[in-house]
Amino acid sequence: MGASDPTVKTKPAVAETGADTDTLLQTRDLRKQFGGLTATDDVDFGVAEGELRCLIGPNGAGKSTFLNLITGQLEPTDGAIYYDGWEITDLSSHERVDRGISMKFQVPSIYPGLTVRENLRVPLQQVADPSEFDERIAIAVDRFGLADHVDESSSALSHGQQQRLEIAMAMTLEPKLMLLDEPVAGLSLEETEEIADLLRTINDEDDVAFIVIEHDIDFVESIADRVTVLHQGDIFTEGTIESVRNDPDVRRIYLGEEE
Ligand SMILES: Nc1ncnc2c1ncn2[C@@H]1O[C@H](COP(=O)(O)OP(=O)(O)OP(=O)(O)O)[C@@H](O)[C@H]1O
């Protein structure tokens, strides 16, 4: 196919950053300082299209700061962020959502005064015609195990159901990259397994890439393609969960074990 073929997407950032062509997100020398504290220390980080990556590290390692830089909730002190072939460093959070980056926080950001159906209508209003709402809501509640609760107040749902509702809301925006900050914190083992299954299914069927911050290593093991360990604002190591779990240096910094 020639360069004039409109179906061929040029990816200027690939040449600029040296990233692989299947790289969806790439940061270069990304830095965030809060006064004298360096929370993100010149990080070069890449995620491939359709990859499910977990981000782990001790408290204060800079995980949430890093995710907030990617969503645009925080402005970097220095460095650049590339997404889907384009530099997005100066785009607003809203513009990043429009391009397919979605974020789910630890505390479900659903509307407790609204029913499940009404909650799902909120993001749908941004992307669909009202005539499509009923059908799309029916598909979503079926897929996310909420069909029996569609007209219940979302405040009456269990914590696990609320997490699923929020993931369902994020998925209506048809993201290419979903960022999750501790999605199973406070959930039971059964609810945690449900979320793990859901994320793997979305990842397989919709080809959505994920960056998931999580402290629960068993959960990480059950979902991650690769794991990145952050420590003191920088990447300490990356690899499979097995290699990371068996790395004595990771055990020392992450699990607090002395050598
Ligand atoms: N708005 C802020 N102002 C000042 N310092 C901040 C701010 N946000 C984070 N920090 C500091 O930056 C460092 C990294 O914090 P961050 O919350 O990103 O770490 P984390 O790895 O997500 O930690 P945890 O696992 O405890 O959630 C910490 O030292 C934190 O105190």
Reading the block at residue 224, the tokens are 């991650």
The residue among 57, 38, 66, 75 whose CA lies nearest residue 179 is 66
Q: Are 116 and 133 in contact (CB under 8 A)?
A: no
**In degrees to the nearest 10, what's the CA dihedral of 30, 34, 36, 42?**
-10
What is the pLDDT, as a whole number, of residue 258? 44
Q: Is the CB of 61 under 6 A from ligand 1?
A: yes
10-residue mean pLDDT series, the chain (259 residues): 44 64 92 97 95 94 96 96 94 90 73 95 89 94 95 94 91 91 90 92 92 93 94 95 90 65
Give the Å distance between the CA of 66 and the centre of ligand 1: 9
Residue 252: which H helix or E strand, with range? Answer: helix 248-254
Side-chain half-sphere exposure of 62, counting CA atoms within 13 A: 25
Ligand 1 atom nearest the C-alpha of 215 is: 25
pLDDT of residue 256: 61
Residue nearest atom 7 of ligand 1, based on CA coordinates: 34
62 lines ligand 1 (CB under 6 A): yes
N residues, the chain: 259
> pTM for the whole thing?
0.88
Residue 164: alpha-carbon gap to chain centroid: 14
pLDDT at 103: 80
Q: What is the model's pLDDT at position 41?
A: 96
Predicted confidence at residue 63, as pLDDT, reads: 96
Q: Is 21-100+177-259 in CATH node 3.40.50.720?
A: no
- Ligand 1 neighbour 231 (Cβ under 6 A): no
Structure tokens at 69: 């830089």
The predicted complex's ipTM stands at: 0.97
Q: How far is the CA of 205 from the centre of ligand 1 (A)?
A: 34
Expressed in angstroms, the distance from the first to the final Cα of the chain is 56
Does ligand 1 lie within 6 Å of residue 121's CB atom? no
Half-sphere exposure of 120 (CA within 13 A, CB side): 32
Using CB atoms within 10 Å of the CB of residue 110, give its burial: 0 to 12 exposed, 13 to 18 middle, 19+ buried: buried
* Domain extents in the chain: 21-100+177-259, 108-174
Dihedral sign, Cα of residue 132, residue 138, residue 139, residue 145: positive
pLDDT at 245: 87
